[in-house]
């Protein structure tokens, strides 16, 4: 039984089946089988996450779609393949926020397949992962809309999947109202989101 992250070889690839056996407190993700340790989010990250979640909850509580916040396991695999067994899944991420509209993807362990919409909030420890690694994974696995929030710059980049590639759809600053591509009724005043950041 694995009870400490120190028992694992960080240069080795692991599957979701391995991930399910780990009994330690540290939060980790699997990116193509490789372990990524997750740092505790800072104050600004938590404020932004809480404010976005509150606005999204108001909209989606009257919808077939559902909002989830980290920690919430999302198992990703190439969308062109059918549902895979745990030993064949090598990517497990915990997006800061995600929206899932297909209830058949939800099980007691989280989301099995791509959410429709993901928001990641950058922090100094995760900026490369969210800007490069997760961007590529979300694109490959068919996440239709992806927002990256930059707390220090007080901007949001909005990407939308078109012909299996992300296109930069909009960039919002702290004076704008960010509007979802998938859910146009979701309009978020970023003045409120970035207040005291």
Which residues face 98 on adjacent strands? 68, 118
Listed residue (94, 38, 39) closest to 69, CA to CA: 94
User: Hey, what domains does the chain have and what are their CATH numbers?
Assistant: 40-193 (3.90.1570.10)
Encode pLDDT of 3-58 as tens digits. 999 999 999 999 999 999 999 999 999 999 999 999 889 999 999 999 999 999 99
Beta strand 117-121 with 177-179: parallel, antiparallel or unpaired? unpaired
The pTM assigned to this predicted structure is 0.94
Helices (H), 61-189: 127-128, 134-140
Encode pLDDT of 104-152 as tens digits. 999 999 999 999 999 999 987 778 888 999 999 999 999 999 999 999 9
Contact between 118 and 70 (Cβ < 8 Å): no
Distance CA 171, CA 150 (A): 11
Encode pLDDT of 63-105 as tens digits. 999 999 999 999 998 655 655 677 889 999 999 999 999 999 9
pLDDT averaged over the chain?
A: 93
């Amino acid at each position: 039984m694995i009870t400490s992250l120190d028992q694992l070889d960080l240069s080795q690839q692991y599957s979701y089946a391995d991930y399910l056996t780990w009994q330690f407190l540290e939060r980790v993700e699997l990116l193509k089988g490789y372990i990524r340790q997750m740092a505790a989010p800072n104050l600004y990250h938590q404020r932004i996450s809480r404010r976005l979640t509150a606005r999204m909850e108001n909209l989606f509580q009257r919808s077939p779609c559902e909002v989830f916040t980290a920690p919430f396991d999302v198992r990703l695999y190439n969308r062109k393949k059918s549902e895979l067994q745990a030993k064949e899944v090598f990517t497990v991420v915990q997006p800061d926020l995600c929206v899932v509209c297909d209830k058949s993807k939800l099980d007691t362990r989280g989301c099995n397949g791509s959410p429709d919409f993901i928001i990641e909030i950058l922090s100094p420890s995760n900026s490369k992962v969210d800007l490069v690694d997760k961007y590529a994974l979300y694109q490959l696995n068919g996440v239709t809309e992806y927002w990256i929030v930059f707390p220090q710059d007080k901007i949001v980049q909005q990407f939308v999947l078109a012909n299996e590639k992300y296109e930069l759809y909009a960039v919002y600053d702290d004076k704008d109202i960010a509007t979802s591509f998938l859910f146009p009724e979701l309009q978020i005043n970023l003045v409120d989101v970035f207040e005291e950041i």
